[in-house]
Amino acid sequence: MVVRQDYPANAIALAAHLCGWLRGEGLVALANPETAARIGATPVSENELMASADLMVVLGGDGTLLGVARHICRRSIPILGINLGGLGFLTEATTDEAMATLARVIEGDYEVDRRIMLEAEIEHGGAAGRTDFIALNDVVIVKRPVGRMLTLEVAADHMPFCTYRADGLIVATPTGSTAYALSAGGPIVFPNLGVIVLAPICPHTLSNRPVVLPDSFELEVRVNVDDQGAILTCDGQESAPLTSSDVIRVRRGKYAVALIRSTHPYFEIWRDKLRWG
């Protein structure tokens, strides 16, 4: 069980209630030592938690779930997200639904959405080695706060695609289409479609609009940056600096994240979260 790091009182109370119910069902609730002491779970290290859990219950917002998903995607552990944050596109179950939803899952009455992930590889020019990342929402190349506009040369499926002059570029999964890419004017994509979204951030050329490409395409990005540099970020939580000699490759990842579906249809979630009425 994972609880948002700042431990809001409602999260602790709900997690303790869920742990008590699990013990009553003859099941073992695991959590990291600091959290376990407050919710009555069995304390284990973070690595042990990720390696031995059969179900991951995440209490928090989408950011909390994104961090967990990157750690456990290799095991395809189903994740039940309970929303304690803001929008909650990924943590769909409400606190009022948490108990009933968990009981239904324990009984095996649930469906799983397998959400694609992205792999990002930075090949460092002029230096040995490379840096690898994975992301559930998006991979973003952006200028530093005081940097100038970037020039980004993009190849798709090993063919020249576009040269952007912009503040940055977002490469998003369907899951991430309702995150940063949406703010950049990108489309909302049905979660299980096999596509990726490219959305330039504040492009200099107004005809540079977001595009949707097959997720079988590998993207290669070369960034021409000045001495202020640029940054690559994954899910807004991990980052690495970029130089003009670096080559960034983004592709569909080997692993998928198994999200337990709530009883709410996607269209209902969109209407609710985006206030469509």
Q: Which is more confident, 89 or 161?
A: 161
- The residues carrying an active-site annotation are 62
Percent of the chain with pLDDT over 70: 95
pLDDT at 228: 67
Q: What sign results for the dihedral spanned by CA atoms 208, 194, 117, 220?
A: negative
Closest CA to 200 of 165, 251, 236: 165
Which domain, by its residues, includes 65? 2-111+261-273
The pLDDT of 217-233, averaged and rounded, is 87
Q: Please determine, for residue 129, whether its predicted confidence score (pLDDT) is greater than 80.
A: no
pLDDT, tens digit, 9 for 90 and up, residues 72-113: 998 889 999 998 866 678 887 888 999 999 999 999 999 999
Q: Please determine, for residue 227, whether its predicted confidence score (pLDDT) is greater than 60.
A: no
Question: Which tokens sit at 109?
Answer: 């009455």
Looking at the fold, whether 7 and 130 belong to one and the same domain comes out as no
Q: Please determine, for residue 61, whether its predicted confidence score (pLDDT) is greater than 90.
A: no
pLDDT, tens digit, 9 for 90 and up, residues 230-240: 999 999 999 99
Looking at the fold, whether 100 and 173 belong to one and the same domain comes out as no
CATH number for position 223:
2.60.200.30
For residue 60, the 8-state DSSP code is E
First-to-last alpha carbon distance for the chain, in angstroms, is 34
pLDDT at 21: 95
Q: Which helix (H) or strand (E) is 52 found in, with range?
A: helix 46-52
Give the mean pLDDT of the chain.
90
In single-letter form, the type of residue at position 233 comes to T
Q: Which is more confident, 7 or 261?
A: 261
- How far is 72 from 69, CA to CA, in rounded Å? 5
pLDDT, tens digit, 9 for 90 and up, residues 131-144: 999 999 999 999 98
Percent of the chain with pLDDT over 90: 68
pLDDT, tens digit, 9 for 90 and up, residues 30-52: 998 988 999 999 999 988 988 89
Looking at the fold, whether 132 and 241 belong to one and the same domain comes out as yes
Q: Which is more confident, 277 or 200?
A: 200
CATH number for position 65:
3.40.50.10330
What's the number of domains the chain is made of?
Answer: 2
Dihedral Cα 222, 165, 251, 240, nearest 10 deg = 70
pLDDT at 87: 65
Closest CA to 132 of 113, 143, 146, 118: 118
pLDDT at 128: 60
Q: What is the pTM of this model?
A: 0.91
CB 119, CB 133: distance < 8 Å: yes
Looking at the fold, whether 158 and 245 belong to one and the same domain comes out as yes
pLDDT at 258: 95
Looking at the fold, whether 232 and 162 belong to one and the same domain comes out as yes
Cα–Cα distance list, 203 to 42, 124, 185, 223 (Å): 51, 26, 11, 14
- How far is 253 from 191, CA to CA, in rounded Å? 16
Q: Please determine, for residue 181, whether its predicted confidence score (pLDDT) is greater than 90.
A: yes
Looking at the fold, whether 249 and 265 belong to one and the same domain comes out as no
Confidence of residue 148 (pLDDT cuts 50, 70, 90): confident
Looking at the fold, whether 89 and 137 belong to one and the same domain comes out as no
Cα–Cα distance list, 197 to 67, 182, 184 (Å): 21, 10, 11
Q: Which is more confident, 222 or 146?
A: 222
Looking at the fold, whether 138 and 62 belong to one and the same domain comes out as no
Looking at the fold, whether 75 and 60 belong to one and the same domain comes out as yes
- How far is 39 from 114, CA to CA, in rounded Å? 29
The pLDDT of 7-22, averaged and rounded, is 88
pLDDT at 78: 95
CB 79, CB 53: distance < 8 Å: no
